[in-house]
Chains A and B, each alone.
Chain A
């Protein structure tokens, strides 16, 4: 184990591991430091959705989704490991006229941009989801997105990164950084010290506190999100389902539940999301959250009565003030790269992490990423 690298990546989730893979492929001496297990943070806590229809509709984001999805189709082959990748229908259930209008416009834009999205009326919705209690919905938006096993997704990138020579250190939390002027010269974990030319911080909600160790303040906030998983379910629920009213429901509340789910490769339902406003970083689940998600799921799918919940979990979920990610060099530091607060992360990973590897090495990204510039909030942190 050496102590000097070209690049140190702080963050052992999908962003860090995929970026490490792309760096290592280019022969760059890369070290990944993860506080917990690889993929054990936000990456493992998600449902594994490769979302396509819910993000921002500017050309940059649309390109990331289109090309990311295309890359995902061949990624298992590229990385030499399976992660239960498949295409699956996505339904945004719509219960109000204004959301219907919004999604109709959105669907048109997505379709024009190469992400076919159609609007289903209530009858159409009932047809694709016969077990859904569709009474209160005007209909739904429907698109074909992706689904994978997030643990295996991370393991696939980790394995490939390792094979190309990257060093991966799970259970190695970063406790401090050493600076010389505006440069980070070392990253510390307890008594261990690692040196590198460039340091990249991409550790989800913890990106802000870690960047702070280098004197950099980033406007990355977080909410606390809970989820649970059931035993395998016989009911043929073959679409990923979310409520279009998610953001309205959550916004401004101390805590709220907006239910959604995907069915994993073993037939179990991974159910989200009970959200709580907090400044604390913790992973506790609550009786309120489990009960809230269960109640809402049963209202949508009464036939799920009797299905057992096997485990709940929770994770701080990062967001930025304008809901666009922060990607790029951190202001106030010469060699700290940051990447966090993505919305449709999994879909963006294959492309973004390839681009970010290049950026870390000093190359210009293939597209203008001003929209994601970490310093864009100058004066508004």
Chain B
């Protein structure tokens, strides 16, 4: 597990999301990318052609590399999506089928 959260303010609330069918804890205000990285997940998907692993790159929504499936919607940018309680996040697989 390489990435790690810095201390949150005392008493700050948490919420739960599911990441590839496993329950994970997150904090309001975090993006899906943050939650995945904090779980030690650097690879968010594989490319169509070379099946190469990709994860976060630009962190600001311009590179479209950090794509995951969120609440059933495919190809959503993890770095631009704040988590909400009960969100389902799915990683992996080619991004167009």
Task: List chain A positions with a Cβ less than 8 A from chain B.
Answer: 231-234, 266-267, 306, 308
Q: Which residues of A contact B95 (CB under 8 A)?
A: 232
Q: Which residues of A contact B97 (CB under 8 A)?
A: 232, 234, 267
* Size category of the binding interface on chain B: under 10
Chain B binding surface SS class:
loop
Contact A232 B73 (CB under 8 A): no
B74 contacts chain A at the CB level, 8 A cutoff: yes
Since A232-B95, A234-B96 are in contact, a sample of 13 more A-B pairs with Cβ atoms closer than 8 Å, ordered by chain A residue number, is A231-B75, A231-B96, A232-B48, A232-B96, A232-B97, A233-B96, A234-B74, A234-B97, A266-B48, A267-B48, A267-B97, A306-B73, A308-B75
A87 to B95 CA separation, bound complex (whole angstroms): 25
Q: Say how far B65's CB is from chain A's closest CB, in angstroms.
A: 13
Listed by A's residue number, 17 A-B pairs whose Cβ atoms lie within 8 Å are A231-B75, A231-B96, A232-B48, A232-B95, A232-B96, A232-B97, A233-B96, A234-B74, A234-B96, A234-B97, A266-B48, A266-B96, A267-B48, A267-B96, A267-B97, A306-B73, A308-B75
A84 to B16 CA separation, bound complex (whole angstroms): 46
Q: Say how far B45's CB is from chain A's closest CB, in angstroms.
A: 12
A280 to B96 CA separation, bound complex (whole angstroms): 39
Q: Which residues of B contact A306 (CB under 8 A)?
A: 73
Q: Which residues of A contact B75 (CB under 8 A)?
A: 231, 308
* Across the A-B interface, the 5 shortest Cβ-Cβ residue pairs: A232-B96, A267-B96, A234-B97, A306-B73, A234-B96
Chain B residue at minimum C-beta to C-beta distance from A268: B96
A234 to B97 CA separation, bound complex (whole angstroms): 4
Chain A binding surface SS class:
loop
A308 to B95 CA separation, bound complex (whole angstroms): 13
Q: Say how far A33's CB is from chain B's closest CB, in angstroms.
A: 36
Q: Which residues of B contact A266 (CB under 8 A)?
A: 48, 96
A306 to B76 CA separation, bound complex (whole angstroms): 10
A308 to B75 CA separation, bound complex (whole angstroms): 10
A306 to B70 CA separation, bound complex (whole angstroms): 12
Within 8 A of A (CB), among B41-72: 48
A233 to B75 CA separation, bound complex (whole angstroms): 10
Q: Say how far B92's CB is from chain A's closest CB, in angstroms.
A: 14
Q: Which residues of B contact A232 (CB under 8 A)?
A: 48, 95-97
Q: Which residues of A contact B96 (CB under 8 A)?
A: 231-234, 266-267
A306 to B95 CA separation, bound complex (whole angstroms): 14
Q: Say how far B9's CB is from chain A's closest CB, in angstroms.
A: 35
Q: Say how far B61's CB is from chain A's closest CB, in angstroms.
A: 13
A308 to B96 CA separation, bound complex (whole angstroms): 12
Chain B residue at minimum C-beta to C-beta distance from A232: B96
Chain A residue at minimum C-beta to C-beta distance from B95: A232
Chain B residue at minimum C-beta to C-beta distance from A231: B75
Q: Say how far A209's CB is from chain B's closest CB, in angstroms.
A: 40
A233 to B48 CA separation, bound complex (whole angstroms): 12
